[in-house]
Amino acid sequence: MKLNGKAFGLACGVVLGLAGFVATLFSMWFGAGFTITTLAAVYFGYSWSFVGALLALVWGLIYGFIGGWILAAVYNAMAGGDTA
């Protein structure tokens, strides 16, 4: 079975983007300095604000899509042909 790289990349991007968005909002409401410091080291332009949450969403979509697409490509290369 082969994975569709675009679909898998989009799914990974949506999950990672939403995770960054929600993590930022939760850390704004409940306070978690470690989360903000970690995300600021990974996402360019990130800040502890609603705009920062949107940036985390966008960067997460981009990073997740690229990572998911690469993961699908490696899986497809390792899986070879259809065995089913």
Q: Is 8 domain-assigned?
A: no
- Give the C-alpha separation, 11 to 33, whole Å: 28
Tens digits of residue pLDDT in 21-32: 988 888 877 776
Contact 11, 18 (CB under 8 A): no
Q: What is the pLDDT of residue 84?
A: 41
Domain that holds residue 60: 14-78
Q: Is 7 domain-assigned?
A: no
Domain count for the chain, please give it.
1
**pLDDT confidence band for 65 (50 / 70 / 90):** very high
Asked if pLDDT for residue 35 goes beyond 80, the answer is no
Q: Is 40 domain-assigned?
A: yes
Tens digits of residue pLDDT in 41-50: 777 877 778 8
Contact 5, 76 (CB under 8 A): yes
Q: Is 68 domain-assigned?
A: yes
Average pLDDT along the chain: 84
Q: Is 4 domain-assigned?
A: no
